[in-house]
Every structure is written in structure tokens, then in C-alpha cells.
Structure 1
Amino acid sequence: MGSISLRDVAVIASTPLFRNLNLVIGERDRLGLVAGNGAGKSTLLKCLAGLIEPTSGEIIRSRGMRVALVEQDVPETLLDLSLHDAVLNALPPLERDTQEWRVHVVLDEFETPPDLRERPVRALSGGWQRLALIARAWVTEPDVLLFDEPTNHLDLEKLLLLERWIANAAGSIPMVIASHDRDFLDACTTKTLFLRPETSVMFAHPYRRARGLLADHDAALADKNEKDRREIKRLRQNAGELRNVGINSGSDLLLTKAKQLNKRAEALEDGLQALHKERSGEIRLGNRGTHARVLLTLENVTVCRPDGARLFEIPKLEVAQADRIVLLGKNGAGKSQLIRLLHKAMRAQGGEAGIKVSPSVALGYTDQDMSQLPDKATPFDFILSTFRLGDQKSMGLLAGAGFSVEKQRQPIAKLSPGQKARLGLLALRLVEPNFYLMDEPTNHVDIPGREALETEILSTEATGILVSHDRSFVKTVGTRFLVIERARLREEDSPDVFFAALAGDAPSR
């Protein structure tokens, strides 16, 4: 099986991404890689795969080791191939005729419907494109698998399928998984590496247990730093007093002792470790409030596909203040269609049959791709022109959201998905809505950002309807749970019944 060993590995761009990284990835290791957006996870994975070289240090792979990296984006060269051919294309050319059977085996493992196998990759959903990339990596029979955000674009059904596959089909093969999905990390990893610019920290536990240990580690480090600073101050003061007495009395012994105390203080100063601070930027929300008790009412509303085919009906639904309704259902059940229908109606103040919107509603809306952002504009131009806050205020808000001056002046189209998500959430905050419509608001948002978003939603007592495949997010912010199943809408007390049914642990109703 072999292993990958890292010795004092560092990558330094304009600032360090990580340094002094030492670890071994061996048989049965399932390493979760955790860091904020832009903090070096993708870079480290590319170093492990041998695609780029670190700034310093060495990475040693066992002789003949095959390393497969599942990156976030589908290469342009694959988009016009069928799903079957895209996976086949991952094999060496001389093996494609004799080893084509492996493609069918892998696609069967991922429960791929026959009609999808001949569909162009370009025409597949984001979730199936993601599984296509994983299948391409797996068909090459690698010795190590590296995943860069494997849950992006996966609906919950496919996400649970991937969890089962990692737990069962993938066997003892080592894996490194960079992900912002906390439940996925808990289900699929046994170790966690918190990647940091100065001193990265690793624990032999899945994410949540490791996160608790990390908090203890950081608290202990902060306490040690504080004690050392007090001791440094004491040593400096004593050294100064001894030096003065030594000079006045002409005592070489006292002067020597003063130098010794200063050296001890210098040694303690050299040992001080910088405390880690997340660099991804703040996330905040607003709530302008309203006196209305019920903000939205639906009665005898039919939700349809774009082609007019009926998906499900809503006999009656009221959304009152502080209701946070989570829509649950398999992919294609109609969750996003309902969000789009409500968005259209609320922008028109109830212009759709059967939908009544309170006149006091101020809407905040985000979709999965942050398509409400103008691609050709820069973040600075977008915030300045939309909210008219002035140059300095606009720049300050963007800086607080994690945008450097350089990023503020780049076209939005060139931003990373995580940066687009943060810009969309900043715009949402500036609208100061009292009703949120959010379709996958945590897409591409890192773990600190997700936790900040959860905190903001709870602290502002937000009202709204949302769709999310992040189970932790759903459980934390949801107050009501509507399940779309068999063309019907029903309410559940918690999302656990739906989650269990998808996982195969309980029958759906």
C-alpha cells in the first residue's frame, strides 16, 4: 500500500500558507483537512499529488505509488464527453479497450442510472459531475485518494451514498479529505489536520472531537503565552534593577546576572507562539423587523417544473415571525422550484395566485450559484452602486468580509466560489431583510463561515425559508421542517426521520 511522508513542508506565497508540516499518511488513514477558504487546503492536496512543489521541505512517496486527486472543477476537455467516456478517458489509452469493464463496475458502485451514462458531462447536474470526477479517480485503482471539497453540489442522497462508499467500498486505501461539511468529516475521517500558516495541529480523531481538543490546545497556548509574558516582564524589570545597581556599585557579578536574566527573557520571547486567527472574514446578518405576525401565506399553490409538469401542491402554509422553515426532499422533488416561485411572488408583492405576502416584507435572497451577483462588476463597484455607502465605507465593509484591496477591484467572475458566497452574504446583510429565501447558502462557505452564519441567523431571530444539504446547519437553524415526497408536502418535528430514511436506516413515509 505504501505511504506519503512530509518533512518540514512549507508553501509560502505572498504570506505563508503553511510551514514546518510533518506527517505520514499510511494504510487506513482517513485524514480530514480543515482550514478556511484560501488557507492552503487545495495547495497542500496538489503538493501531495505531485502536481506542484512546496516552497521548502520534502514529500516522499512510496515507490510506484499511484495518487489520485479529485479536484473541485470539471476540466473543459471532459464537458462534451459522455459520463461513460469521461470515466473511461481516465484510463491509460492502451488499457481502454481491455479494461472498459472497470468503468461499468465503478459507475455501478455509484448507482449511476443507465440513461445518465451516455449523457454529456456538460448536461449533468453539479452533483453528478462531482461523482464523475470521483469515479474517474477510482477507476485508475489508486493507492491514495485525495478529495478537494467532495460534497460540493451533492444533494443529501448522493452525499450519504458517498459516505457509504468511503466507509465500505474504498476499503483500507488512505484518503485525505478537504471539506467544510462537519457531519461528512465525522462520518468519513479518523484524523483531523487543522492547517495553519505557522503551526498546524493534528489529532487522531474525527472533526468534532478534534475541534474540542483544538479549543483546549489553543486555550492552553494562550494561557502559556500570558504566563510567559508576565515572566518576561519580571525578568526584564529585575535585570534592569540589577544592571543599575551593578553600574552604581561597580559590581561585575550583578552586571553578569542582569545579562543572564535578559537572555532568559529573550529565550522566553523566542518561544512565544502566535495565536491563530481565522482570516476568512466576518459574516453578519441584519433584521429590520416588522409588526406583522404572519409574513407569508400560501393556499392551494401548485409547484411545477419549468416545463409545466406538476411537482407537488401546498394546500395551506403560513410563515410567521421567527419561523425558519427548512425544505427537505430528494433531488428534483421541487425544493429550488418553490424557492424560485416564492422569490418571484415576493418581488411582485404577491403577484402569484395563492401567495399572499405581507406589505412589510423586506426580502433577502440567495441562490445556489450566487447568480444575483453581477459577474462583470467588481465587488467594490457592486457594493458601492447597490447600497450607496460611499467609497471608504464600501471598502471597509469588503475588507471586514475578507476582501483585500486587490480582490475588491477584480471582476466578480474571477472570484473563487467561496469569495462569491461571502460577497453575496455581505450584500444580504446590507439589505437588512426581515425575510430570507436561501437556497444552499452554505455552498462554498468554510466551517468558520458556516458557524458564523448559524450564529447570526439565531441571534437576529431571522424568519425565512431555506434549502440546505448541510445537516449541522439544518439542525441548528431550522424551527420547522417540510418534507417533499411523492408529490406531497408534509411537516415533521425534526429532520432526523428524513435523514434516516435517506441513509436507509428507516422507511420513508
Structure 2
Amino acid sequence: MIRLQQISLLRGNKSLFEQADVTLNPGERIGLIGSNGTGKSTLFAMLRQELHPDQGNIDIPASWQMASVAQETPALDRPAIDYALDGDTRLRGLEARLAELENHEHDEQTGLAMAEVHAALADADAYTARSRAEQLLTGLGFRPEQFMLPVASFSGGWRMRLNLAQALMCRSDLLLLDEPTNHLDLDAIIWLEDWLRRYPGTLIIISHDRDFLDGIVNVIVHIDDKKLRRYSGNYSGFERQRAAQIVLAQAMIEKQARQRAHLQSFIDRFKAKATKARQAQSRMKALARMEEIAPLRAAAEFSFEFREPASAPNPMLVLDSVDCGYPVEDGLPKRIVGGIDFSLQIGQRIGLLGENGAGKSTLIKTLVGDLAPLNGKILSGKGLSIGYFAQHQIEMLRHEESPLWHLSRIAPDVREQDLRNFLGSFNFPGTMVTSPVGPFSGGEKARLALAMIVWQRPNLLLLDEPTNHLDLETREALTEALAQFEGTLLVVSHDRHLLRATTDQFLIVSHGQLRPFDGDLDDYKQWLLETKAAAAAAPSASAAANADNGVAFVSKVDQKEQRRKDAEERQRLSGLRKPIENRIRKLEDQMDKAGKLKADIDRQLEDSDIYSDANKEKLKALLLDQAKLTKELEQLEGDWLEQQEALEAII
């Protein structure tokens, strides 16, 4: 059992905790939440005994083994799998002890000691340790051929995954995870969620991913007003309880106000009357004793909305036999996703799925123009305006410049006060508008990047992990804004709540191809778990033989045959799609022409002069043409819908 009793802590001039109490029971899975800056990471530091409270006590059973994710990873030459195995400190201790004994002069006492160590290694499941480490690395997105690569060869995000693998490898009684999903894609998050549900110890997670919390935790601890408030249930349960508490607290405040007014009225009326003096004194004491109920504060609301797009081209983008990838690798282009024939239509709301490295970001970079297609053509609709958000958008901000400077760069002719007002709506008030963005938090920088996108009134949003660095409040604001966005949306995100609320269809990038995914996120999760289980249950003989070396072998013959079949299938589908896509394009051209003619007639009919006696014949002709074009447009739209349905049936 963990007990925090009357904890108070001052960091600099800021008081984070004042006489805070909470009790956590063994085996509970706790979500630690609170606004940015309220002390979540500081509380973790106190649990790890890296910080000590100014007052109060923190009691953790002395026998408990604690694990947490290291925030720094040295550039080691050590293989990734050995680095993950280092998390099992008991195993490493026993291995070191055995090596010491083996180098010792062998006698009866040494032999007995070695026997004890071997027994302890068996108890520690030492002989399955490597297999467990491989499962952890695979679940977190590493490929078998990466297991033996040195830690130094991985990027920062992948090193954080190695740190997470090391923490999960530890046989811990208490596991502390601070934003574990920040460097993971959706596939790895689904795997981690399943792993953590089976974790037998006590788990405390800091996370801004509400679906992740809902899937794992059974207790919420909310840091609020420098106190620790415990709620039973998951995050959604907390929200319901919290809302009910706020309503109840407001009712109690109103009731107390009525009581105070009643007591004060009695005192004012009778304190001067001798016959009522004792009763008046009694009520004065009751009023003094009445402790004023402090209102429960809901989180400060932050919301924004995307401005109505200035135009709505249809289609937005057309991809004709496009190959996406990188131009040069050893002198040859590296294709990541190929053979894409796809039309992005107005009003579509698409979530892009696929495992890490499959090519989701490569596809989005190609759509936005950061990467040129290796083959094929991308045609843009007239008036296309793309709003692009990815992690590097934050990195491209000028640290020495202010939010006002960044916005004025893309709106040089707009009054400064209008820009200040706009930035104020994104929670950049007062002097923050003119302060350098360098010291801003990741969430504040992400909010600025979003503000710049919103200002430009895009009609197509291409979003690549937009929720990284955002807290729960800003994530919710982004989700609501995207749900009301009037343009077209294509999003890659590991935030399932955002995907469910803002998209209505899914595409998947898999095995170098882009194709529709027929199902929802629950279906995708089930498909993913079944796919990984099947791969684990039926490895090839060659892969099994090379498992110790972390080598996965796939028959070249099988690969060639699969590529041949894939090519035949692509050719077959392309042959079916092409005539339908041509008909769709012709219908769209006809609808565009008819729509322009009808819009011109509608404008003429808005002129009051047309209804004069002198223009009777012209009015009659216009009305006839309007009726004819309306009917024609209805017919064209019906034909267009039929062709779209036929195309979807093929895809």
C-alpha cells in the first residue's frame, strides 16, 4: 500500500501541494491527471525519492521493486536487446554473481554457491528472458533485424521505446509511466494497452490519451487545487463524477448563501432587542462558525474552431498511379507505398492506419508536396488550400521570435490588434503574445502551430500525429474543432478518441499498398492482435533457426510469388477502376458547368428589375432554364453517386 500523508511541496515560489493525502492499494492501476504545471511529474520524482516533500510522509513498502522509464538514453554500443534485458536487474545481478563464481577457484563451497545461483536463475525465468525481451521489442515496433543494432544507431524517439522496453522488462511491484504513448504509434499503443492490463503490480500512469486511460486504469487521482483527489473507475467515470461534484458543490454554495442571508437578517433585526439578544448572539456565533464552501473549479475551458474554407474544389486531390518514397538510396529510388490510384473528395473524413514504418507519413508528405512522387501524377483541385500539421511544424518555429511575429509573417497586411485578438483566442494572452516561443512548453508551441493553420482557412487538413504534446484539454478542443470542420480531413493519429469523433472511414497502408479498411477501430485492434498472434504462432523454420541472432528470413521465392500476385491484383483492379473513374471525372465536369450556369441564373433572378413588366419574357426564359438545370443537376448527381458506389465496391 502507498500512503501520501499531508504532503506539501514548494518549487521556487510556486506551491504545488498543500497537505495532500491519498492512499493507493496494491494491484490498482491508477491514472494520474491534472493540468500542465500542477505537479504530475514532480509527484513521480517524490515517489522515486529523487525529491522529498517539504512536509508530510510518503510510505511505500520497503520490499517493493520500482520501475520507471529513463528520460535519457546514452549513445551506447550495446545491442538493443541487451539494453532491454538490463531492465531485469535481478537477472543481471544473478548473471554477474555467476560470472564471479566461475572465475573463482572451484571448491565445494563455490560449487554449492553456483548451484544456488543456478536455482535462483531458474526461479527468475532466466532461460526465457531473451524471448520475453524479443516479445517486448516486437510489440513496441522493433523488427527482428534491429534487435542486435547498437542503441546509438536509433533516433531519439526509438531510444525512448528502448527505455520503455527496459522498464517493462523489470520485475517490478510498482511501475511508473510518464506519457508512455508519446513516442508510440497506434499499433504499439494497442499492444502496450493489452500488456499493461495484464501487469500484476501497482501501476501509475500519467497520460493525456483518454482512450488509453479508459482501457487500463481503475482509479483516477486528480491533482486539483494543490490536493490529490481519488476517484474510482476510469477516465470517463472520473469526468461523470467530477461533473456531478461541480453541480452538487454549486447547489451547496447556493444553499449556504441562503442560510447565511437568513442568519444575517435575524441578527440585523434583533441584535438591539433585549428579549432577542441571546438568540441574536447565538446566530452570530453560528454565522462565524459556518465555513464557507469553496467552489469546485472545472478545468478552464479552451476551444477554437476552423474558419469556413474560402473554396471547395472537388475532387481535392487525384493520385494517378503514384509511387511514394525517397528519391535516392544507394543511387536507387526507395519506394515505400506504390501503385496508388485514389481520389480525395470534398467532405471526406479519413483516418489513415498502418503499422510504424509502413509509409503513412511518407504518403502525407507526398500529398502536401514535401516529397515529389517517384512515379505517377498528383492533380490538385482549383483553389486547393492545404493545412498541414506534423511534429516538424513545431520544430520549424523560430525560438527567438514571438507568436505575434509568426502570425504576422503569414498575415502581413492585417492590423496588429486583430492578430493579438486572434492569438488571445488560442490562450496567448498579454505579454505572452510578444514573448519568444523558445521557453514555451511543447503544448503551447503546438497550439501556436494550430493557430497558424486555422488562420489560413484550409479546405483540406493533412494531420500527422497532431495530438503529440497536447494536454487533455487542448486535445478535446482540437477534437471538437475537427468534428465541426467543413472541409476534407486526412489524419494519422494514435489518439483513438480523436479518430472516432472526427473520421467516418479508414484507409490502411500495409505491405507497400494503400487500401480501404472495412471496419472501425475496434475491428482494427482485433485484426492487429490476430495478425501478430498468427505471426508469433507460425514462424517459418528459417526464422526459428535464426531467432537467437534476431534474424528473420523470408523465402525469396515466396516474396517473388507474392509480388507477382500483388501486381496481377493491382492490374485487375486498375482495369476495373479506370473506366469508372473516367466517367466520374466527366460527370464532375458536367456538374461544374451546370452549377456555374445555374448560379448565374440565380444571380439574375435576385435582381428586382427582372420582375418588371418590360422583362416578362426574359423572366420566363430564366425560370425555364433554372428548372431545366436543377433537374439536370439532380440527374448528374444521381449518376455520380452510382459511379462512386461502383468504385467503392471494387476498392
Whole-angstrom CA distance in 2 between matches of 1:184 and 1:22: 26
For residue 503 of structure 1, the aligned residue among 521, 529, 548 is 529
Residues 242 and 255, structure 1, Cα contact 8 Å, conserved in 2: yes
Are 1:460 and 2:503 counterparts?
A: no
- Going from structure 1 to structure 2, the CA distance change for 1:60 and 1:319 (only over 3 Å counts) comes to same
- Going from structure 1 to structure 2, the CA distance change for 1:447 and 1:62 (only over 3 Å counts) comes to same
Residues 182 and 207, structure 1, Cα contact 8 Å, conserved in 2: yes
Residues 289 and 434, structure 1, Cα contact 8 Å, conserved in 2: yes
Whole-angstrom CA distance in 2 between matches of 1:385 and 1:242: 69
Give how far 1:162 is off.
1.3
For residue 134 of structure 2, the aligned residue among 105, 108, 114 is 108
Residues 220 and 231, structure 2, Cα contact 8 Å, conserved in 1: yes
Residue number in structure 2 paired with 1:10: 8
Give how far 1:482 is off.
0.8
Whole-angstrom CA distance in 2 between matches of 1:392 and 1:345: 33
Residue number in structure 2 paired with 1:355: 378
Whole-angstrom CA distance in 2 between matches of 1:467 and 1:239: 66
Residues 314 and 381, structure 2, Cα contact 8 Å, conserved in 1: no
Q: Which amino acid aligns with 1:180?
A: H
Give how far 1:352 is off.
9.2
Residues 349 and 488, structure 2, Cα contact 8 Å, conserved in 1: yes
Are 1:63 and 2:62 counterparts?
A: yes
Secondary structure of 2:215's partner?
helix
Give how far 1:304 is off.
1.9
1:71-86 pair list within 5 angstroms = 73=71, 75=72, 77-78=74-75, 82-84=79-81, 86=83
- Going from structure 1 to structure 2, the CA distance change for 1:274 and 1:345 (only over 3 Å counts) comes to same
Q: Which amino acid aligns with 2:8?
A: A
For residue 217 of structure 1, the aligned residue among 245, 250, 263 is 245
Give how far 1:266 is off.
4.6
1:239-318 pair list within 5 angstroms = 239-243=267-271, 246=272, 251-252=273-274, 254-268=276-290, 270-279=291-300, 281-305=302-326, 307=329, 308-313=333-338, 315-318=340-343
Q: Percent identity among equivalent residues?
A: 27
Stretches of structure 2 lacking an aligned partner (at least 5 in a row): 100-125, 536-650
Residue number in structure 2 paired with 1:226: 254
Whole-angstrom CA distance in 2 between matches of 1:322 and 1:151: 30
Secondary structure of 2:224's partner?
coil
Q: Which amino acid aligns with 2:403?
A: P
Q: Which amino acid aligns with 1:53?
A: H
Give how far 1:423 is off.
2.0
Residues 9 and 18, structure 2, Cα contact 8 Å, conserved in 1: yes
Are 1:381 and 2:405 counterparts?
A: yes
Residue number in structure 2 paired with 1:341: 366
Q: Which amino acid aligns with 2:210?
A: R
Query: Under a length normalisation based on structure 2, what TM-score does the superposition of the two structures give?
Result: 0.68
- Going from structure 1 to structure 2, the CA distance change for 1:94 and 1:115 (only over 3 Å counts) comes to same
Give how far 1:493 is off.
4.6
Residue number in structure 2 paired with 1:148: 178
Q: Which amino acid aligns with 1:364?
A: G
Per-residue CA deviations over 1:359-396 (Å, capped at 9, x if unaligned) read 32222111034334234434343234444556555555
Whole-angstrom CA distance in 2 between matches of 1:372 and 1:454: 24
- Going from structure 1 to structure 2, the CA distance change for 1:116 and 1:316 (only over 3 Å counts) comes to closer
Per-residue CA deviations over 1:285-311 (Å, capped at 9, x if unaligned) read 333342434322222222224643222
- Going from structure 1 to structure 2, the CA distance change for 1:98 and 1:362 (only over 3 Å counts) comes to farther
Stretches of structure 1 lacking an aligned partner (at least 5 in a row): none
Residue number in structure 1 paired with 2:161: 131
- Going from structure 1 to structure 2, the CA distance change for 1:303 and 1:198 (only over 3 Å counts) comes to same
Secondary structure of 1:119's partner?
coil
Residues 322 and 375, structure 2, Cα contact 8 Å, conserved in 1: no
Residue number in structure 2 paired with 1:319: 344
* 202-211 or 16-25, larger mean C-alpha shift: 16-25
Per-residue CA deviations over 1:158-204 (Å, capped at 9, x if unaligned) read 11221222223x32x11101111222212221111122124543222
Give how far 1:402 is off.
3.9
Residue number in structure 2 paired with 1:332: 357
Give how far 1:500 is off.
1.7
Whole-angstrom CA distance in 2 between matches of 1:17 and 1:193: 15
- Going from structure 1 to structure 2, the CA distance change for 1:84 and 1:492 (only over 3 Å counts) comes to closer
Give how far 1:323 is off.
1.4
Whole-angstrom CA distance in 2 between matches of 1:136 and 1:123: 17
Give how far 1:253 is off.
5.1
Give how far 1:208 is off.
1.8
- Going from structure 1 to structure 2, the CA distance change for 1:460 and 1:351 (only over 3 Å counts) comes to farther
Give how far 1:225 is off.
2.0
Secondary structure of 1:436's partner?
strand
Residue number in structure 2 paired with 1:181: 209
Q: Which has the higher helix share?
A: 2
Residue number in structure 1 paired with 2:390: 367
Per-residue CA deviations over 1:39-86 (Å, capped at 9, x if unaligned) read 322111112111112343221222243322225x4x153566543454
Per-residue CA deviations over 1:334-358 (Å, capped at 9, x if unaligned) read 1101110111179x9x999522222
Whole-angstrom CA distance in 1 between matches of 2:401 and 2:129: 43
Per-residue CA deviations over 1:375-428 (Å, capped at 9, x if unaligned) read 443434323444455655555555553457676566434433222222222222
* 196-205 or 477-486, larger mean C-alpha shift: 196-205
For residue 453 of structure 2, the aligned residue among 421, 428, 450 is 428
Query: Under a length normalisation based on structure 1, what TM-score does the superposition of the two structures give?
Result: 0.85
Give how far 1:255 is off.
4.8
Residues 78 and 86, structure 1, Cα contact 8 Å, conserved in 2: no
Secondary structure of 1:203's partner?
strand
Per-residue CA deviations over 1:309-349 (Å, capped at 9, x if unaligned) read 22233543222332121111111111101110111179x9x
Residues 106 and 138, structure 1, Cα contact 8 Å, conserved in 2: no
Residues 5 and 22, structure 1, Cα contact 8 Å, conserved in 2: yes
Residues 309 and 487, structure 2, Cα contact 8 Å, conserved in 1: no
For residue 191 of structure 1, the aligned residue among 211, 219, 234 is 219
Q: Which amino acid aligns with 2:68?
A: L
- Going from structure 1 to structure 2, the CA distance change for 1:323 and 1:314 (only over 3 Å counts) comes to farther
- Going from structure 1 to structure 2, the CA distance change for 1:89 and 1:257 (only over 3 Å counts) comes to same
Q: Which amino acid aligns with 2:516?
A: E
Whole-angstrom CA distance in 2 between matches of 1:235 and 1:12: 40
Give how far 1:433 is off.
1.8
Residues 302 and 473, structure 2, Cα contact 8 Å, conserved in 1: no
Whole-angstrom CA distance in 1 between matches of 2:183 and 2:248: 38
Residues 110 and 161, structure 1, Cα contact 8 Å, conserved in 2: no
Whole-angstrom CA distance in 2 between matches of 1:401 and 1:457: 15
